[in-house]
Amino acid sequence: MKEKGNIDHSIEHCNPGYIHKSEEILKFIYEKHFRLRTCKDRRYQIMKKYKDPIFKAFAVVGVFAGILGVLMSVSAADAGSKPFKGHSAKGGMRNCMYELNNSTRDLQTCNMNLVQALTDLETCRTDLDQSGAELGTCNADLSLCESNQVSCPETGALAKTGQTTSYAVGDDGDLQAGTALTGPRFIDSGDGTITDNLTGLIWMKDAGSIGVNYWGNAVQSCNTLANGYYGLSDGSQAGDWRLPNVRELYSLIDFERYNPALPDSHLFINVMYNYWSSTTYAGNPNNAFYLNPNNGFMSYANKSGANVYVLCVRDGS
């Protein structure tokens, strides 16, 4: 009781001013507490009202952030299985776009190469057609050769002289040494020329068309002979023809025959006597050999003093 009396005594003896100040402090604390409580209640109401839209917004932002993260961290393995197969895409979206541009350029290059390949193929087909045409011509020529049934003597072999009459045992007519030609020897080409299948040489068909001349003029006449002259329509040009040498000229002689001493199938027309050869007589260079096809006689004459017939020859194709 003493204590209570002491307390009451203390309160009674408190300064009224202090009491009033304490009451104001308590009132201020109460008001602050009330406002804090009201603020918390208000925040709770706001959160309760807007929590769903806020959460949705955060969810959307999270989704976009996730997508962006995937694109920025895309790996070569992920890119290799779909749009950029065969290309590296390390480094994110920037490298993906870089690889896409490279693929587009590669596709353009591939298209250009394809166009070039198609052009080359067309050129190849044209060349193939041309080759086929040339092969057809070759086959036709081969068929013509086979139809002529021509076989030439072996290289280096001497042909038979043509003499079949024997005048003594062991003479030329008896032995008939040399290589025989199978098939026709001469063929009329129909262009003013005759082909000799034994030698492969091509002769003028008209043996009298050029006429007679001195040896030097005879050489020049054959050197300048060409298509359109002396009944020729063979397409030959100057320089293709020549005056035959003594062996070429002598190859025409058939020693079984006389007047003319030419093979029975020779096909020449207007055969004359004495034809110049291009071979000079070594015993006297002013002279050259000539052949008389009527009797097969070979001799020589002065180049500038004898007028002798001219018969030109050219190599076969």
- For the chain, the first-to-last Cα distance in angstroms comes to 162
Within-domain flag for 128: no
Within-domain flag for 230: yes
Within-domain flag for 20: no
317 residues of the chain, pLDDT tens digit each: 444 444 444 444 445 555 555 566 666 665 655 555 566 555 555 555 555 555 555 554 454 555 555 555 544 444 444 444 444 445 556 776 676 677 677 777 777 877 787 787 788 778 777 777 777 776 766 665 555 544 444 444 577 877 889 888 877 888 888 777 778 999 999 999 999 999 999 999 999 999 999 999 999 999 999 999 999 999 999 999 999 999 999 999 999 999 999 998 899 999 999 999 999 999 999 999 999 999 999 999 999 999 999 999 999 86
Within-domain flag for 62: no
Nearest to 250 by CA among 313, 156, 306: 313
Within-domain flag for 217: yes
Burial letters for 64-95: b for 16+ Cβ neighbours within 10 Å, e otherwise?
eeeeeeeeeebeeeebeeeebeebebeebeeb
Task: Find the domain containing 209 and state its range.
Answer: 184-315
pLDDT at position 87, please?
Answer: 47
Within-domain flag for 74: no
Within-domain flag for 218: yes
Domain CATH number, residue 217: 3.10.100
Within-domain flag for 8: no
- The total number of structural domains in the chain stands at 1
pTM attached to this predicted model: 0.51
